[in-house]
Chains A and B, each alone.
Chain A
């Protein structure tokens, strides 16, 4: 429940307030694990670096993820000379590394990551995976299993190329958890200039984007599905734009606050959390001859709650939980029956007259009436 201060409430009641909004995007920490090898890398089995085991242990067991492989997500790199690649079935269960890499077909050798997906709601987002060239630092690309099941679209573009003469393969794996935050947040507000405003850290400096329409929310009908909150960011300072890297903020925790100023616009009477959510997607809008803007869609908790899970009301699904549980064994053959609880019963064949039809038309449950 939002609690307005007396001053803010009084200003709103009098109708002499200026409202504004602030946005705080809080990327999670990037915990980096690095492993490197100067020899052929056997990423599975006995030679598997301990890190890889611990990663799969965390993902497969501790957080209870269900994996879904996406063979279209391919990372290509040139492996160390002399290595061999024997391929990986991306549809196997769990997180797999390639066994090792071949040098004879450098242009097409590839590894496949089983892309984690479908994390349980409320769990931390999954790992970012990065491959770094030993020489140049390489390209960094990300695979993230977001609760919206979205895989990074530019994965194919971010290809790290390891020179075959490199001493080996270096892999950096970064864990990205928006539920704990150590990275520098991005803080913007809809006014002009920099301002010290309430934040999750107490008070922080927010950059002004000067856009009255910073926050837009499609009004949802009562009982309807929750709508995303859309932030339209334009005229952003280049310094702020640099940190607004879509790859880094996707899935980031976001706090949108409503700011109530006095009518002079000088005194902040109150700042209240309007929405807490996660960055869903970032879209750039560039229309020739029109405005260019960045739209940030924020998924609130309500919308995430509406996401269906993986369960089905079927006998097969229930048997997975308990092989002897036959609760849903007859669900496919159970007939349907419509019950009218109050309200006007639709006209049916039994509405001609008589005691029973009279009872039915009075709004009583239609059970027993002719249907």
Chain B
């Protein structure tokens, strides 16, 4: 399989980048309705495109064409949060730190919340992560058909935290880091994304008009989780 492609990031007028859960909404005998879910949540992305210059229109059309429907993969991003909320222009104030953690670990607390600890290094001391910030885990897949293909898994901060003097920060994330993500995966907070596949029957462009660019369109992707252990 070809390495997942980077997606164009310009001229997305609207975006939905949320977790997709199949919830049975099971009613219990006492009348309360609970949430028994089928399977694990997946990230779902819907990008609504606006009018754009011809060049960008060509880029988007070439990107979708290259995806070959659902055959290939791409890196889907939360374009509304490519860097932590407090550092929209990157990590220039943190010296050598560029967004990569040297290591990470996760624990599940008594409330079933996933507490993720990132070791960002001393240069990132004082860095603050806010709810909505993204973290991705980059690794090489090990499943036979895609062995060696770079892969990403994505989580979103729900309760933020501030890195201590050593650059260690613990936050609550959702969903918990999936089991297929190896412990050797490299965590990043710079331009995080997850490996997705195009949902072909929901992806389309509006016609190209006299300005030689598409009038808009919609690109839909859903996460593809693969084993990296």
In the bound complex, how far is the Cα of B227 from the Cα of A238, in angstroms? 14
Q: Assuming A193-B227, A264-B114, is B34 touching A20 (CB within 8 A)? A: no
Cβ 8 A contact of B39, one of A13, A15, A20: A20
Task: Categorize the interface residue count of chain B.
Answer: 20 to 34
- Contacting pair A264 B227 (CB below 8 A): no
B28, A193: Cβ atoms closer than 8 Å = no
A265 touches B176 (CB 8 A): yes
Bitwise, B173-199 to A at CB < 8 A (1) or not (0) is 001101110000000000000000000
Instruction: Decide if A237 touches B145 in the complex (CB within 8 Å).
Output: yes
Partner of B36, one of A17, A208, A264, A265: A17
User: Which residues of A are found within 8 Å of B38, using beta-carbon distances?
Assistant: 18-20, 212-213
A19-B227 CB under 8 A given contacts A192-B179, A264-B112, A266-B108: no
Instruction: Let me know if A356 is at the binding interface, CB within 8 A.
Output: no
How near does chain A come to B21, taking the closest CB pair, in angstroms? 9
A16 contacts chain B at the CB level, 8 A cutoff: yes
Contacts of A285 in B (CB 8 A): none
Cα of A192 to Cα of B108 in the assembled complex, Å? 19
Q: Is the CB of B112 within 8 A of A212?
A: no
Q: A193-B227, A194-B227, A266-B179 are in contact. Are A212 and B33 (CB under 8 A)?
A: no
Min CB distance A194 to B, Å, is 6
* Min distance, Cβ B19 to any Cβ of chain A, angstroms: 12
In whole angstroms, what is the CA distance A105 to B108 when docked?
74
Docked complex: B183-229 residues within 8 A CB-CB of A: 225-227, 229
- Give the distance in Å from the alpha carbon of A213 to the alpha carbon of B24 in the complex: 13
The residue in B32, B36, B114 that gathers the most chain A C-beta atoms within 10 A of its C-beta is B36
Q: Give, as a whole number of angstroms, the nearest-CB distance from B91 to chain A.
A: 30
| B36 (CB) vs chain A CBs: closest residue | A17
Check if A193 sits within 8 Å of B180, measured CB to CB.
yes
B62 at the interface (CB under 8 A from A): no
A-side contacts of B28, CB under 8 Å:
12-13, 15
A280 to chain B, nearest CB (A): 24
| B18 beta carbon closer than 8 Å to chain A | no
Main SS of the interface on chain A?
A: loop
Q: Does A263 contact B (CB under 8 A)?
A: yes
Query: How distant is B111 from chain A, measured CB to nearest CB, in Å?
Result: 9
Q: Are A193 and B26 in contact (CB under 8 A)?
A: no
Asked whether B55 is an interface residue with its Cβ less than 8 Å from the other chain, the reply is: no
Chain B residues, Cβ within 8 Å of A212 = 22, 38-39
Cβ-closest chain A residue relative to B224: A210
Which residues of chain B are near A221, meaning CB under 8 Å? none
Number of chain A interface residues as a range: 20 to 34
Q: How far is the CA of A16 from the CA of B36 in the complex (A)?
A: 6
- B143 interface residue per 8 A CB criterion: yes
Nearest-neighbour CB distance to chain B for A260, whole angstroms, equals 9
CB within 8 Å for A208 and B180 given contacts A15-B28, A16-B112 = yes
A27 at the interface (CB under 8 A from B): no
The verdict on A262 contacting chain B, using a C-beta distance below 8 Å, is yes
A15→B26 contact, CB < 8 A: yes
Counting CB contacts under 8 A, is A185 at the interface?
A: no
Is A14's beta carbon under 8 Å from chain B? yes
Q: Is the pair A267, B180 in contact by a Cβ cutoff of 8 Å?
A: no
Of all chain B residues, the one with the shortest Cβ separation from A190 is B39
Q: Is A145 among interface residues, defined by CB-CB distance under 8 A? A: no
Encode B136-149 as 1/0 by CB contact (under 8 A) with A: 00000001110000
Task: Name the residue of chain A whose CB is nearest to the CB of B200.
Answer: A289
Q: With an 8 A cutoff between CB atoms, is A359 at the interface?
A: no
Interface presence of A51 (CB below 8 A) = no
Query: Is there an interface contact between B35 and A192, defined as CB atoms closer than 8 Å?
Result: no
| CB neighbours of A195 from chain B (8 A) | 179
Chain A positions 225 through 246: 1 when the CB is less than 8 Å from some CB of chain B, otherwise 0: 0000000000001110000000
Q: Which residue of chain A has its CB nearest to the CB of B179? A: A193
Q: Which residue of B lies closest to A236 (CB)?
A: B145
A237-B146 Cα distance, complex, nearest whole Å: 10
* A192 in contact with B37 given A15-B32, A264-B114, A266-B108 (CB within 8 Å): no
Partner of A193, one of B41, B114, B175, B229: B229
* Bitwise interface map of A from 187 to 214 toward B, beta carbon under 8 Å scored 1, else 0: 0001111110000000000001011110
If A190-B39, A193-B225, A237-B143 touch, does A265 touch B22 (CB 8 Å cutoff)? Answer: no
Q: Report the nearest A residue to B70, measured CB to CB.
A: A291
Besides A191-B40, A239-B144, 17 other CB < 8 A contacts? A12-B36, A14-B34, A15-B36, A16-B34, A16-B36, A17-B37, A18-B38, A18-B40, A19-B38, A19-B39, A20-B38, A192-B226, A192-B227, A193-B226, A213-B38, A265-B175, A266-B108
Listed from nearest, the 10 A-B pairs whose CB atoms lie closest are: A15-B34, A193-B180, A193-B227, A212-B39, A192-B225, A264-B112, A212-B38, A264-B176, A18-B37, A265-B40
